Amino acid sequence: MILAIVLPLLTLSVLAASLWAAWKAVRTARTPQGAMGWVVFLLTAPYIALIAYLFLGHHRYRHYLVSRRESGRVMEAANDFSVRFAPGHQPGGINPRPFEKLAALGATRGNDMELLVDGDATFEALFAAIDGAQHYILAQFYIIHDDRIGQAFAERLIAAADRGVSVRLLYDPVGSHALPVAYLQRLRDAGIRVPHKNRLSKRSGRLQINYRNHRKTLIVDGIHGFTGGLNVGDEYLGRDPKFGHWRDTFIRLSGPMVSELQLVFAEDWHWGTGETLISPLHWEPAPAAADMTGLILPAGPADEMETGTLFFVSAIVAAKDRLWVASPYFVPDTDVLSALKQAALRGVDVRILVPDMIDHTLPWLAAYAVFDECRAAGVNFWRYKEGFLHEKVVLVDDRMAAVGSMNMDNRSFRLNFETMAVLFDGRAARAVETMLLADFAKAEQLDKALHEQPFKIRVGAPIARLFGPLL
């Protein structure tokens, strides 16, 4: 008797909830394809799809938007120094205007950069900056492991705090899910400001596990800034036998771009803690003699525009001679795919460098589903053979270079908070060119069509592509 009453009510409740979720998907999904996929899934398999939608569906990041409005002083500071350090006209250079609009930050002159190739060079530079800190350290990483390099990282932060340096640390609660409570408590006991996992989860929404803060940043005294692709873990120094050599890139910045990087951290800190982080920080970095022009481009699911997609489209459209991209994952949306093919068709040297080694199976397989159509248009793909390639680098002609945390996939385009350091300077472009040429020398060009691949790839690639919007 009870089942006869409960089951129909349960069915009606699930149906009503599925219809509500389908309507919300139509209203909030970033693409028509994503909306249609959720609607079909929710209406055909409501019991499974409803749970999946609660965790993986698109939900506007209202808390982040509210925090952004509340941190008006952050944006006032951004507008102020963007005007003071505005670059002059650069004949023949790439127009920074599209990137400025996407970043909501202006391109500034007076910057300098240095590429940090792989983990040893990166952590040597990061630790030297931490050891030399006099006033404050702002650190943010997607993944922090409690291993050899993680312990060394903690020890240096604690040593800085012991000598009176103010230290703040942000981490992603999902990316760093394995980080022991004792590790974090040790930092807090030393006086380091570290938000608790439950507070970070509450601010982001406990069900929104699909949206992650993927940024990797270190700022010291408002003078030295670092960002790129490495997290804090032994594998990033090639110590994991599964991957062997780990190929990655960080960038060291000086000049006004450090203040922009600091603004992005301040916004994330305000969102995660509620504290407006302006007055305690230094906002007057000395212009660097190199006088490079650049900006910091943050992107994330709270943006009004498709910042990640439009960053790549803008870079591709700007290319006249070459577009080289290194990314561990290649699962772009249709807009970026079309732009890549169009660039190759008009004669641009388009090269995409991806790893040959498997990190995550689904995105690795999904890439094979689009290789052929891109190669038909003239896009060249290279597979890095000496370990795992994890760098996120873009080179446009001899005029623009970008290094950061953004992969060439839908997850970075729409689901993650990311950061790219973008430089409109021939010297930066030549440095990236030299680095990428060394990477291509350790790679092999992909020349086999999908039908020539092993059976598991021929079958798996089309299936994996169905999950492209989530990868």
Res 84: pLDDT = 63
Lowest mean pLDDT among 40-54, 272-286, 404-418: 40-54
> Would you say residue 25 has pLDDT above 90?
no
CA–CA separation, 240 and 235 (whole Å): 5
Res 185: pLDDT = 97
CA–CA separation, 78 and 150 (whole Å): 33
Res 4: pLDDT = 62
Q: Where are the alpha helices (DSSP H) in 209-306?
A: 256-273
CA–CA separation, 62 and 212 (whole Å): 15
Lowest mean pLDDT among 245-254, 375-384, 393-402, 457-466: 457-466
Greater confidence, 27 or 329?
329
Which of 24, 58, 145, 214 does the annotation list as catalytic?
Answer: 214
> Would you say residue 201 has pLDDT above 60?
no
Residue 32: pLDDT band with limits 50, 70, 90: low
In this structure, CATH architecture of domain 62-89+96-291: 2-Layer Sandwich (3.30)
The amino acid sitting at 429 is A
Res 207: pLDDT = 45
Residue 203: pLDDT band with limits 50, 70, 90: low
> Would you say residue 73 has pLDDT above 50?
yes
- Class (C level, CATH) for 307-470: alpha beta
> Would you say residue 52 has pLDDT above 60?
yes
Q: Which helix (H) or strand (E) holds 371?
A: helix 361-377
Greater confidence, 456 or 316?
316
Which of 146, 303, 397, 409 does the annotation list as catalytic?
Answer: 397
Which of 118, 221, 248, 439 does the annotation list as catalytic?
Answer: 221
CA–CA separation, 441 and 412 (whole Å): 27
CA–CA separation, 79 and 383 (whole Å): 42
Any catalytic annotation for residue 216?
Answer: yes
Which of 24, 58, 145, 216 does the annotation list as catalytic?
Answer: 216
Q: What are phi and psi of 142, to 5 degrees?
A: -70, -45
> Would you say residue 66 has pLDDT above 50?
no
Q: Find tokens 């604690």 and name the residue.
A: 158
Res 303: pLDDT = 87
> Would you say residue 254 has pLDDT above 90?
yes
Mean pLDDT of 437-442: 98
Mean pLDDT of 378-384: 98
Which of 146, 392, 425, 439 does the annotation list as catalytic?
Answer: 392
Any catalytic annotation for residue 59?
Answer: no
Mean pLDDT of 382-391: 97
> Would you say residue 21 has pLDDT above 70?
no
Q: What is the largest CA-CA distance in the chain?
A: 82
Answer whether 246's CB lies under 8 Å from 119's CB.
yes
Task: Return the bridge partners of 116, or none.
Answer: 250
Res 192: pLDDT = 98
The amino acid sitting at 352 is I
Greater confidence, 125 or 7?
125
Q: What is the pLDDT of residues 105-144, one digit of tens each?
A: 999 999 999 999 999 999 999 999 999 999 999 999 999 9
Mean pLDDT of 201-209: 51
Average pLDDT, the chain: 87
Res 206: pLDDT = 42
> Would you say residue 164 has pLDDT above 80?
yes
Res 378: pLDDT = 98
Any catalytic annotation for residue 197?
Answer: no
CA–CA separation, 139 and 148 (whole Å): 18
CA–CA separation, 167 and 146 (whole Å): 19
Q: Please state the domain extents for the chain.
A: 2-56, 62-89+96-291, 307-470
Mean pLDDT of 272-281: 84
Res 358: pLDDT = 86
Answer whether 442's CB lies under 8 Å from 385's CB.
yes
Res 298: pLDDT = 96
Res 285: pLDDT = 87
Any catalytic annotation for residue 58?
Answer: no
Q: What is the pLDDT of residues 297-308, one digit of tens each?
A: 999 988 888 999
Q: What are phi and psi of 212, to 5 degrees?
A: -125, 150
188: left (phi over 0), alpha (psi -120 to 50) or beta: alpha
Greater confidence, 86 or 172?
172
Any catalytic annotation for residue 196?
Answer: no
Question: Any residues with CB less than 8 A from the CB of 86 and at least 6 apart, and which?
Answer: 106, 107, 108, 109
> Would you say residue 324 has pLDDT above 80?
yes
Any catalytic annotation for residue 221?
Answer: yes
Which of 58, 145, 341, 390 does the annotation list as catalytic?
Answer: 390
Q: Matching CATH topology for 62-89+96-291 and 307-470?
A: yes
